[in-house]
Amino acid sequence: MPTLVMKFGGTSVANLDRIARAAKRVAYEVAKGYDVIVIVSAMSGKTNEMVGWVNETSPLYDAREYDAVVSSGENVTAGLMALRLQEMDIPARSWQGWQVPVKTTSAHSSARIKEIPTDNISAKFGEGMRVAIVAGFQGVSSEGRITTLGRGGSDTTAVAFAAAFGAERCDIYTDVDGIYTTDPRITSKARKLDKISFEEMLELASLGAKVLQTRSVELAMRFKVKLRVLSSFEEPSDTAGTLVCDEEEIMESKAVAGVAYSRDEAKMTLISVADRPGIAAAIFGPLAEAGVNVDMIVQNISEDGRTDMTFSCPVDQVLRAQSALQAAAANDSINYHELVTDEGVAKVSIVGIGMRSHAGVAAKMFATLRDEGVNIKVITTSEIKVSVLIDRKYMELAVQALHDAFDLDKT
Ligand code: ADP
Ligand code: ASP
Ligand code: MG
């Protein structure tokens, strides 16, 4: 029988009624003849709550124990979904990551899936089971410890299962009815897209559009998984949602396809570091070792052999960054005059493969922000995106203004 992967995010399994509604959705596909692999998230809010508990208990926590705690929300929903389906007389059972086993790297809290053996679940399908429910977001390392795949990681679990089982499609059920030109919560002018290219979705996701985890888009692109994002609150239809597909399948060719934002960024500046060969390695090496995800980097011009180095990172990693830099200073591998931290910034980005052929896109972005009186603190660009760091209080305004300026509400 053909296999379908259906992933239900936190809001789609937020309580028993929602789980029942999702189960009906699964039953609909089972009735069509699919063997279904359901990937579930934790009930909405649960993972955040557990992350809070971990931080409160141990601010510079052991990531192995963080994973042990925060992976548990998915176990609850997987079991409940299996029970609900059994109540509907559909043969179903749950799997935790380690039972499959979803084998991952040992990079706790941001592990990557290395392998998903299919024999275990396939054998059960062979015995008449119709639905395998797998706890998303989690796996097991070669050391036998529970790992998690980073926030939003159930999307990646879903795509990885679709690839491993050669599923006909991977449907990501969430609380919006597809992928929009920007987060529909920021502007009501956001427009739903029927299709979006892997490349653009990859950029949007990595720049903060959390509708899909970045790694899930990467995997779908690499393994040619047919990936669809749709709402779990709407009636079933074969054309619902947004399809993530190859560039060639898309007719629309605008310079900009979407606007993404990342709200909780921090900007850190090392004032007056020695401008010598190896200084960047001496700063960013320890930050990487401490697990800080450095994003934008700017080095000032130097004066009298000293310079300022600015970088951005997620605001919840500031403590780790500070302690890594202080330790590097204490063992004399770097020396700086002062470390200045601005925890009140956000990143806003425009993305589009059309930028490759349209000139003046960045200039138009900067002019739009100027007209709104928004000061730009840091800029980075690539072939298909421009990102700026700005004061967080202007983030919504910037997204709305850019969405208007690039006519994203119009087809
Ligand atoms: P789930 O819990 O189902 O995984 P998420 O909260 O992770 O859901 O992702 C869905 C959310 O992503 C939406 O509610 C929306 O606010 C946000 N989002 C951000 N950018 C976009 C976009 N471009 N299109 C659609 N949703 C977006
Ligand atoms: N529950 C996890 C999170 O909130 C994984 C997911 O929902 O995708 O990040
Ligand atoms: Mg998500």
Nearest CA to ligand 1 atom 21: 183
- pLDDT greater than 90 at residue 126: yes
Q: 154 to each of 39, 160, 233, how far by Cα in Å?
A: 7, 10, 19
> Are the C-beta atoms of residues 116 and 109 closer than 8 Å to each other?
no
Determine the distance from the C-alpha atom of residue 362 to the mean position of all C-alpha atoms in its chain, rounded to a whole number.
25
pLDDT at 336: 95
Alpha-carbon distance of 139 to 101, in angstroms, equals 7
Q: What is the DSSP annotation of 4-51?
A: EEEEE-GGGGSSHHHHHHHHHHHHHHHHTT-EEEEEE-PPTTHHHHHH
Alpha-carbon distance of 36 to 28, in angstroms, equals 10
pLDDT at 392: 98
Residues 216-236: tens digit of each pLDDT: 999 999 999 999 999 988 887
pLDDT at 191: 97
pLDDT at 77: 98
Output the CA 377–ligand 2 centroid distance in Å.
31
The ligand 2 atom at the shortest distance from the C-alpha of residue 155 is 8
Ligand 1 site-directed mutation target among 18, 159, 177, 183, most atoms within 8 Å of CB: 183
Looking at the chain, the whole-number percentage of residues with pLDDT higher than 90 is 92
Tokens of 171: 């449907």
Average pLDDT over residues 35-51: 98
Q: Any idea what the Cα angle at residue 61 is, between residues 330 and 146, rounded to 5°?
A: 130
- pLDDT greater than 90 at residue 29: yes
Pick the closest to residue 313 from 281, 280, 267, 348 (CA basis).
267
Output the CA 175–ligand 2 centroid distance in Å.
14
Average pLDDT over residues 234-254: 84
Out of 17-26, 350-359, 397-406, pick the least confident.
350-359
Contacts of 379 (CB under 8 A, 6+ apart): 362, 386, 387, 388, 389
> Are the C-beta atoms of residues 177 and 241 closer than 8 Å to each other?
yes
Confidence of residue 163 (pLDDT cuts 50, 70, 90): very high
Q: What is the DSSP annotation of 158-193?
A: HHHHHHHTT-SEEEEEESSSS-BSS-TTT-TT--B-
> Are the C-beta atoms of residues 388 and 282 closer than 8 Å to each other?
no
Average pLDDT, the chain: 96
pLDDT at 264: 96
pLDDT at 282: 96
Confidence of residue 1 (pLDDT cuts 50, 70, 90): confident
Alpha-carbon distance of 182 to 184, in angstroms, equals 6
The residues that bridge with 148 in the sheet, in sequence order, are 138
The ligand 2 atom at the shortest distance from the C-alpha of residue 42 is 1
Q: pTM for the whole thing?
A: 0.93
Q: Is the CB of 136 under 6 A from ligand 1?
A: no
Confidence of residue 357 (pLDDT cuts 50, 70, 90): confident
Between residues 247 and 119, the one the model is more confident about:
119
pLDDT at 359: 87
- Give the CA radius of gyration of the chain: 23
pLDDT at 251: 75
The ligand 2 atom at the shortest distance from the C-alpha of residue 149 is 5
Q: Who lines ligand 2 at CB under 6 A?
A: 9-10, 41-42, 47, 73, 136-137, 151-155
pLDDT at 249: 86
Residues 270-284: tens digit of each pLDDT: 999 999 999 999 999
Residues 106-119: tens digit of each pLDDT: 999 999 999 999 99
Alpha-carbon distance of 177 to 173, in angstroms, equals 8
> Are the C-beta atoms of residues 394 and 355 closer than 8 Å to each other?
no
pLDDT at 234: 85
Out of 52-66, 89-103, 227-241, 353-367, pick the least confident.
227-241
Helix (H) or strand (E) holding 52: helix 46-57
The ligand 1 atom at the shortest distance from the C-alpha of residue 260 is 20
Alpha-carbon distance of 22 to 78, in angstroms, equals 12
- pLDDT greater than 80 at residue 253: no
Alpha-carbon distance of 160 to 173, in angstroms, equals 16
Nearest CA to ligand 1 atom 10: 211
Alpha-carbon distance of 299 to 283, in angstroms, equals 12
Residues 190-200: tens digit of each pLDDT: 999 999 999 99
> Are the C-beta atoms of residues 121 and 164 closer than 8 Å to each other?
no
Please report which ligand is nearest the Cα atom of 211.
1
Confidence of residue 238 (pLDDT cuts 50, 70, 90): confident
